[in-house]
Amino acid sequence: MATFGERFKKLRKEKNYTQEELANKFHTTKSSISKYENNRSIPEVPTLEKYANFFNVSVDYLLGRTDQRQSSNDNDEKIARIRRAIEDKPKLLQFFEQLARRHELVLLFDQAKDLPDEAIKDVISIIRRIEKEEGDH
């Protein structure tokens, strides 16, 4: 499967946008678009969702996790449900957004999306403790 950068560039070209035009449309810089296309950066989840909507593809397709351009809205709804489950915990929500930007952890969210709200909070808390312990060493 293609990488995020390859997909992003292909979709931009399909829409006949230059990097600069796309950057202007999304109020970002040409440099950011270039970083995305060269796999040096991945946007935060809310921005990923905006790009996916603009390109009319799923976030999973954009990230290179599936070759199917459109998935059911179930995945997007489940991710939104995870956000709603932790929106009352700003630090957890911030941590969720940070994790979502790490491409290698996207699979974790895929596994957690069907968990009950309390279990989601517990999983994120455990990950934070592990991260803190690793940072202390």
Do 57 and 98 belong together in one domain?
Answer: no
Per-residue confidence (pLDDT) for residue 109, from 0 to 100: 64
Write b or e for each residue in 62-101: b if 16 or more Cβ atoms lie within 10 A of its Cβ, otherwise e.
bbbbbeeeeeeeebbeebeebeebbeeeeebbebbeebbe
User: What per-residue confidence (pLDDT) applies to 26?
Assistant: 94
Summarize pLDDT for 71-96 with one digit per residue, the tens: 555 556 666 778 788 888 888 888 77
CATH number at residue 47: 1.10.260.40
Query: Which pLDDT tens digit goes with each residue over 93-116?
Result: 887 777 666 655 666 666 666 778
State how far the Cα of 127 lies from the Cα of 137, in Å rounded to an integer. 16
Residues 42 and 83 in one domain: no
Residues with Cβ within 8 Å of residue 85, at least 6 apart in sequence: 117, 120, 121
Residues 51 and 83 in one domain: no
Residue 77 lies in a domain: yes
Confidence of residue 4 (pLDDT cuts 50, 70, 90): very high
| Together in a domain, 127 and 78 | yes
DSSP for 52-88, written as a single string: HHHHTS-HHHHTTS-S-S---HHHHHHHHHHHHHHTT
Number of structural domains in the chain: 2
- Residue 136's pLDDT is what? 66
**Domain match, 85 and 116 both:** yes
Q: How far is CA 122 from the centre of its chain?
A: 21
78 and 132: one domain? yes
Asked if residue 114 belongs to a domain, the reply is yes
Same domain, 49 and 23: yes
More confident residue, 127 or 33: 33
Does 32 lie in the same domain as 83?
A: no
Kindly state whether residues 24 and 45 are assigned to the same domain.
yes
pLDDT above 70 covers a percentage of the chain that reads 80
Note whether 83 and 128 are same-domain residues: yes
Q: Is the pLDDT of residue 123 over 90?
A: no
Mean of pLDDT values over 23-45: 95
Distance CA 116, CA 137 (A): 32
- Would 33 be classed as within a structural domain? yes
- 94 plus 128 within the same structural domain: yes
pTM of the predicted protein model: 0.54
Q: Which residues span the domain enclosing 41?
A: 4-62
Question: What are 9-14's contacts with CB under 8 Å, separation 24+?
Answer: 9/37, 11/51, 11/55, 11/57, 11/62, 12/37, 14/55
